[in-house]
Amino acid sequence: MSDALDVLDQVGKWKNSGKGVALATVITTWGSSPRPVGSQLGVDDSGAMVGSVSGGCIEGAVVKEALAAIADGKPRLLDFGVTDEQAWDVGLACGGKVQVFVEKVS
Amino acid sequence: MKTETLAALQQARTERTAVTLVTRLSDAAETLIYLDRADGAMAGDATLVSAARRAMAIGRSETIDFDGQKIFLNVYVPPPRLIIVGAVHIAQTLAPMATMLDFDVTVVDPRGAWATSARFPDVKVIQDWADEAFQAMGLDVSTAVVTLTHDPKLDDPALEAALKSDVFYIGALGSRKTHAKRKERLGEVGITDEMFARVYGPVGLNIGAKSPAEIAVSILGQIVEVRARRLEALAGPKVVAA
């Protein structure tokens, strides 16, 4: 829980310095997902990250959507299914599914 | 998330207040639900408010279907607190170990030579009698108290105050014999046998701990176990998602 609040601290600092910022939050998990519900990733308009929503396997895709949310202001609901095979390919043993909500901090 | 919501979450952390952020996923509308109040678009919905408070009680964030809408309840609860009475050798290993497990640790001891920041870097140190310190800090249900001084003058008032609060764990160092005498003494100040049964003593899990660090592990293991069982009980039967 303190992790989530540290993410919010950094998000607040980015926002105060005039940056565009988005917040991604794990809202549902199935199976052995690596990060629990409530885990958050903050992204600024240069693509800098704080926190995590998966421990590495989906961050790239989430950052892309976060940048789009910063640009158009619309929230997004993303579904990721990590198959065992994909998990092996990226070197992570997730094998779970996660749903991530991405929104602009406004 | 609105910047005002962000500021409110940060303020709640500073004040050690639990809060649930309720987000309607279709339009990102936000409502902040505290134990005693609610602010935002859905603050007037009693069912939603009670669902948010339940999530807060068990410390579990989740997405729910509500009136045909997907609603995310994100729980921000203050970290559990561990108050160690007695700035002794065991405390010197227990404090950093508990900090690693995300406990907010405070060491209390009225003896100036013991209760120093040099002996306890990185945690709060209060040089005062435990009952006085407890009054200033406010004991709550996310707090654990453990007494380690071996000195009835220091331990007993701490146990008495802890037993009159709703802290989730109370542990007291000492042998079975010491513990039985302790029960007698506290009986004289109005602590009934039933109340005293809340105290874990001899403290810690029975793992054959000998050294101060091993005893710290056994105490911390017991605190983690008691906390997890309590949260499991509050949450009810585990629901496995399809």
| Residue B97: both structure tokens together | 């170990």
Number of domains in chain B: 2
Asked if B225 and B124 sit in the same domain, the reply is yes
Name the token pair of B3: 């910047």
Asked if residue B195 and residue B146 are part of one domain, the reply reads yes
| A28 CB within 8 Å of a chain B CB | yes
Q: Are residues B104 and B213 in the same domain?
A: yes
Does B206 lie in the same domain as B95?
Answer: yes
Same-domain status, B54 and B115: no
pLDDT the model gives residue B85: 98
- Shared domain for B14 and B90, answered yes or no, is no
- Show residues of chain A in contact with B23, CB under 8 Å: 101, 103
Let me know whether B113 and B223 are in one domain: yes
Domain end, chosen from B76, B97, B132, is at B76
* Residues A99 and A79: beta-carbon distance below 8 Å: yes
What span, in angstroms and rounded, lies between the C-alpha atoms of A97 and A82? 6
Same domain, B118 and B223: yes
> What average pLDDT does the segment B194-210 reach?
96
**Full domain range(s) for residue B47:** 3-76
The closest alpha carbon to B130, from B158, B99, B161, B162, belongs to: B158
Residues 6+ apart with CB under 8 A from A35: A26, A29, A52, A53, A54, A55, A98
**Closest to B147 measured CA to CA, from B172, B110, B178:** B172
Q: What is the pLDDT of residue B160?
A: 97
Whether A19 and chain B come into contact, CB under 8 Å, resolves to: no
Classify residue B224 by burial, with Cβ atoms within 10 Å: 0-12, 13-18, 19+: middle
* Residues B100, B50 within the same domain: no
Is residue B238 a part of any domain in this protein? Answer: no
The pLDDT assigned to B233 comes to 83
Q: What radius of gyration do chain A's Cα atoms show?
A: 13
Percent of chain B with pLDDT over 70: 97
Asked whether residue B46 is assigned to any structural domain, the reply reads: yes
pLDDT in tens, B155-196: 999 999 999 999 999 999 999 999 999 999 999 999 999 999
- Report the percent of chain B where pLDDT is more than 90: 83
- B44 shares its domain with B101: no
Which of B76, B109, B124 is the last residue in one of the domains?
B76
Q: Which of B50, B48, B49 is nearest to B65 (CA)?
A: B48
DSSP state of B80: P
Residues B218 and B106 in one domain: yes
| Phi, psi for residue B46 in degrees, rounded to 5 | -60, -40
For residue A43, pLDDT beyond 90? yes
Task: Tell me the per-residue pLDDT of B100-144, one tens digit each, with 9 for 90 and over.
Answer: 998 999 999 999 999 999 999 989 999 999 999 999 998 988 899
Instruction: Identify the domain boundary among B23, B52, B76.
Output: B76
User: Which CATH number is B105's domain given?
Assistant: 3.40.50.720
Give the residue among B166, B159, B168 at the shortest CA–CA distance from B190. B159
Structure tokens at B192: 């009934």
**Number of other residues whose CB lies within 10 A of the CB of residue B236:** 9
Do the domain assignments include residue B239?
no
Q: How many CB atoms lie within 10 A of CB A46?
A: 9
State which residue of chain B sits closest to A99, comparing Cα positions: B63
* Cβ <8 Å between B2 and A77: no
Beta partners for B171? B146, B200
Residue with tokens 């005002």: B4
ipTM score here? 0.84
Query: Do B163 and B68 belong together in one domain?
Result: no
